[in-house]
C-alpha cells in the first residue's frame, strides 16, 4: 500500500517554504496521521525527534520540555533544522502553555526546531490552540479515508467502501467480517471512548455516553429528538446532558448531530439532531448485518448511503463560512442543506428507485434562491460523487 495523503504535501510545503509556525495535525485515530508525519520526516531528511504521549495516564509538561531539549541538542550537534514530532499532544497536562513558552523562545533566539503536533481530540486541541497559541500555528486536518483512497489502496468498490468505511488498519480484516467487527468495536471505538473522551473529560455517566454512541450507530442518517433518545436510554438524565455528550463524541470524530436549517433565525441547539457517523465502519461494526445482508436490504442500504454522503461532507472539512444542516417542515424533508457563504444548496440522496422530491420543491418554494443537487439514482452517480472531494461539487 503506497498511499500518500494530501496532508503530507501540505506539511512539506509549510516546513520548507512557509513562515515559521507550529504545524498542528488533528484527526481521528487509525487514519494514518502518524504515518503521514513520518513520511514528511523521511522526505525532509532533517534530523528528527519523534515521541508519543499516548500513555495510560496523562503526562506532565516536563515530558514536552524533555523532547524539546533533545531536539535542541540535535540542533547544536548538526546545526541543521530539526523536526520535532509530538503525537497525542492533548494528553499532556498544560500542553499549550508549555509549547507557547518554548516556541516563543525558539523564535526570539532564531532557533531551528520545527514542531509538528498531532492530536485526536478536536475539542481539547482547539481549546489549547485558542487559549494559548493564537497566531502561532497552522492547522491541518487528517480525517477518514475517502472512497478514492480505499479504491487505490485496497481495490474496493464503492459499495464495499460504503459498508466497511475508511479505516485502513481494519481493511485487511474485511474478508473475515467477524474479526473486522470485533477489531473496530474493541480496538478502535472503545479505545477512542476510553482514552480520548472519558479519560480527558469530566463525564458523570460514562455508561450513558457509550450507549448514546451505540444508539447513534443504530439510527444512522436519521433525525432523532432528544426526548426520543431519553426513551431509548436508561439513566439518561436530561436533554442537556445528551446534547453535551453528543458534542463530546463529535470532538473525537465519531458522530455529529446536524442541526435543522433555519435562515434568518437562531438555530435551536436543543432541536432534534440528524445523526451522522463520520465513518460507516462505525455503523456496521455494531450492526447485525453482514456485507451481503446490508447491501440486499434496501432500507438499511439507503441509510448507509445517506450517512456516507453526510460523512463525505464532514470529512471534507467544512470551513467557518460553510455549514451542513438538514431541513424538515411537516412531512417535507431535505436530506442535507449546504450553506457556503451566500449560496445555499438543497441536497437530496436517492439510493434506489426514483422517488419523490417534494421536499426539494417545498424548500425551493420557501427559499427561491437555493439551488438543488441530486445524488444517486436521479442525479450524480454515487461512485462519481464519492470520487471527488464533496465540496468540489459546490465551491
Task: Give the pLDDT score at 264.
Answer: 60
Residue 209 has, within 13 A of its CA and on its CB side, a CA count of: 24
For the cut 60, the answer to whether the pLDDT of residue 334 exceeds it is yes
* pLDDT band per the 50, 70, 90 thresholds, residue 179: very high
Task: Give the pLDDT score at 56.
Answer: 65
Is 243 in the same domain as 370? Answer: yes
CB–CB of 125/90 below 8 Å?
yes
- On whether residue 161 sits in a domain, the answer given is no
Domain end call among 141, 170, 188:
141
Is 190 in the same domain as 113? Answer: no
pTM for the model = 0.91
For the cut 90, the answer to whether the pLDDT of residue 33 exceeds it is yes
Is 240 in the same domain as 376? Answer: yes
Is 344 in the same domain as 226? Answer: yes
Is 237 in the same domain as 374? Answer: yes
What is the rounded average pLDDT of the residues 351-356? 65
What is the rounded average pLDDT of the residues 168-195? 93
- On whether residue 255 sits in a domain, the answer given is yes
Instruction: Tell me which of 42 and 58 has the higher pLDDT.
Output: 42
Task: Give the pLDDT score at 389.
Answer: 94
Cell numbers for 103, please give them: 516556541
- On whether residue 59 sits in a domain, the answer given is yes
- On whether residue 89 sits in a domain, the answer given is yes
- On whether residue 166 sits in a domain, the answer given is no
Is 272 in the same domain as 382? Answer: yes
Mind listing the pLDDT tens digit for each residue in 278-312?
Answer: 999 999 999 999 999 999 999 999 999 999 999 99
Task: Give the pLDDT score at 266.
Answer: 43
Mind listing the pLDDT tens digit for each residue in 144-177?
Answer: 999 999 999 999 999 999 999 999 999 999 999 9
Burial bucket for residue 53 (CB in 10 Å: 0-12, 13-18, 19+): buried
Is 33 in the same domain as 125? Answer: yes
Is 195 in the same domain as 137? Answer: no
Parent domain of 239? 179-393
Portion of the chain with pLDDT greater than 70, in percent: 96
Burial 237-276 (b: 16+ CB within 10 A, else e): eeeebbeebbebbbbbbbbbbbbbbeeeeeeeeeebbbbb
Structurally, the chain folds into a number of domains equal to: 2
- On whether residue 81 sits in a domain, the answer given is yes
Is 136 in the same domain as 249? Answer: no
Cell numbers for 312, please give them: 463525505
From CA 287, how far away is CA 293, in angstroms rounded?
11
Is 135 in the same domain as 253? Answer: no
- On whether residue 383 sits in a domain, the answer given is yes
Q: What is the CATH number of the domain that holds 39?
A: 3.40.50.300
Task: Give the pLDDT score at 236.
Answer: 66
Beta bridge partners of 336: 347
Cell numbers for 362, please give them: 417545498
From CA 270, how far away is CA 256, in angstroms rounded?
14
Is 200 in the same domain as 284? Answer: yes
Which has the closest alpha carbon to 63: 35, 33, 86? 86
Work out whether strand 371-376 and strand 343-350 pair parallel, antiparallel, or are unpaired: parallel
CB–CB of 99/117 below 8 Å?
yes
Is 132 in the same domain as 261? Answer: no
Instruction: Tell me which of 239 and 113 has the higher pLDDT.
Output: 113
Task: Give the pLDDT score at 353.
Answer: 57
- On whether residue 172 sits in a domain, the answer given is no
Question: For residue 258, what are the CA distances in angstroms to 315, 321, 337?
Answer: 14, 16, 10
What is the rounded average pLDDT of the residues 336-363? 86
Lowest-pLDDT range of 161-165, 248-252, 351-355, 384-388: 351-355
Amino acid at each position: 500500500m503506497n498511499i500518500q495523503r494530501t496532508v503530507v504535501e501540505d506539511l512539506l510545503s509549510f516546513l520548507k517554504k512557509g513562515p515559521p509556525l507550529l504545524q498542528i495535525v488533528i484527526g481521528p485515530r487509525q487514519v494514518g496521521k502518524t504515518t503521514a508525519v513520518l513520511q514528511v520526516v523521511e522526505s525532509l531528511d532533517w534530523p528528527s525527534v519523534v515521541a508519543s504521549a499516548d500513555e495510560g495516564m496523562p503526562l506532565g509538561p516536563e515530558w514536552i520540555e524533555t523532547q524539546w531539549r533533545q531536539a535542541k541538542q540535535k540542533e547544536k550537534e548538526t546545526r541543521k533544522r530539526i523536526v520535532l514530532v509530538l503525537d497525542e499532544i492533548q494528553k499532556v497536562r498544560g500542553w499549550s502553555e508549555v509549547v507557547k513558552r518554548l516556541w516563543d523562545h525558539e523564535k526570539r533566539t532564531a532557533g531551528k526546531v520545527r514542531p509538528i503536533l498531532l492530536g485526536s481530540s478536536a475539542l481539547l486541541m482547539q481549546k489549547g490552540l485558542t487559549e494559548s497559541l493564537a497566531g502561532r500555528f497552522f492547522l491541518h486536518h487528517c480525517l477518514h479515508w475517502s472512497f478514492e483512497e480505499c479504491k487505490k489502496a485496497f481495490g474496493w468498490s464503492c459499495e464495499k467502501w460504503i459498508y466497511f468505511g475508511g479505516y485502513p488498519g481494519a481493511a485487511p480484516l474485511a474478508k473475515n467480517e467477524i474479526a473486522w467487527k470485533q477489531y473496530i468495536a474493541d480496538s478502535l471505538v472503545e479505545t477512542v471512548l476510553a482514552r480520548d473522551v472519558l479519560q480527558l473529560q469530566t463525564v458523570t455517566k460514562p455508561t450513558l455516553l457509550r450507549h448514546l454512541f451505540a444508539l447513534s450507530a443504530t439510527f444512522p442518517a436519521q433525525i432523532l429528538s432528544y426526548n426520543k433518545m431519553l426513551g431509548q436510554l436508561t439513566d439518561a438524565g436530561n436533554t442537556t446532558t445528551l446534547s453535551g455528550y453528543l458534542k463530546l463524541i463529535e470532538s473525537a470524530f465519531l458522530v455529529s448531530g446536524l442541526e435543522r436549517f433555519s435562515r434568518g433565525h437562531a438555530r435551536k441547539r436543543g432541536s432534534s439532531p440528524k445523526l451522522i457517523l463520520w465513518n460507516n465502519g462505525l455503523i456496521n461494526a455494531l450492526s447485525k448485518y453482514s456485507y451481503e445482508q446490508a447491501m440486499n436490504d434496501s432500507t438499511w442500504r439507503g441509510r448507509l448511503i445517506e450517512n456516507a454522503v453526510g460523512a463525505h461532507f464532514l470529512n471534507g472539512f467544512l470551513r467557518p463560512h460553510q455549514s451542513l444542516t438538514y431541513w424538515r417542515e411537516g412531512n417535507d424533508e431535505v436530506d442535507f442543506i449546504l450553506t457556503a457563504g451566500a449560496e445555499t444548496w438543497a441536497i437530496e440522496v436517492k439510493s434506489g428507485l426514483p422517488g419523490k422530491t417534494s421536499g426539494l420543491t417545498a424548500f425551493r418554494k420557501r427559499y427561491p434562491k437555493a439551488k438543488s443537487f441530486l445524488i444517486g439514482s436521479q442525479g450524480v452517480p454515487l461512485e462519481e460523487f464519492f470520487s471527488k472531494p464533496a465540496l468540489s461539487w459546490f465551491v
